[in-house]
Amino acid sequence: MIKTTVLAAVGVAVACAAAFPVSAAPAFNPKDFSGVWMQDRGTGRFPAYPWTPDYGAVAKKRADALAAGNPYQPAGASCLPRGLVGMVTTGAYPLEIWQTPQKIVVIKENGGTHRIYLGRKHLGEDDLTPLFYGDSVATWEGNTLVVDSISLGATDNIDGQNPHSDAMHVVERYTRTAPNKLEIKLTVTDPKAFTAPIATTSTFTLQPAYEMQEYYCVNERNTFGKDGQGVAGTK
């Protein structure tokens, strides 16, 4: 009787396993960037900037202000978006990437959305306005996604302090170098600010268990005067 019961239980277990097979881990797709990614420490730093005379003077003025204890206030200090370059080179907060065949969206946890369009060209000049994350279009080169972004004039700094102009042009190259690794190579050209292109590489590690958190920036620097008009820098 005991032997029969044991054999029956084994038979039920086998039947259940057949009815509910364990799913195999999905195959690694190097063209799939979906997921939450955290930037690796020490990556995404630019070397010395090859300034033009005009923008070298702006950079020096901001450096002098920092040394004097009155640092330049970037857009983020007023709760405005950080901008494209800062999104993928400053790693205190993770990125989440959502992907379809025609559109890829990169979201920064502390604010910012980078929309990348596949299958179209840049908008015409009459349809462009100064943007924080640019008009971004992409093509595939093998397993690497090449993203070209223009119209980046809504910000005026590349790293939180050093300036760039409204002529800045950014090319990103996204590559999955391993199942849990993403590499983003940036090349920045700006003929008004730099005498030569500048480049850096940010690497990221996949965070499969992490869920992006809500984040809100509250701007307490802008208050309202007695006339109801906004007054900057009063708090």
pLDDT, tens digit (0-9, with 9 covering 90-100), for 19-44? 545 445 568 999 999 999 999 999 99
Q: Is residue 202 part of a domain?
A: yes
Of 192, 97, 191, the residue nearest 147 (C-alpha): 97
Q: Is residue 2 part of a domain?
A: no
Residue 56 pLDDT > 90: yes
Q: Is residue 68 part of a domain?
A: yes
9: tokens are 């239980």
Q: Is residue 8 part of a domain?
A: no
207: tokens are 């965070």
Q: Is residue 72 part of a domain?
A: yes
How many structural domains does the chain have?
Answer: 1
Q: Is residue 24 part of a domain?
A: no
Q: Is residue 148 part of a domain?
A: yes
pLDDT of amino acid 174: 98
* Residue-number span of the structural domain to which 170 is assigned: 35-232
| Cβ atoms < 10 Å from Cβ of 61 | 12
Q: Is residue 1 part of a domain?
A: no
Please give the average per-residue pLDDT across 163-189, as a whole number. Answer: 98
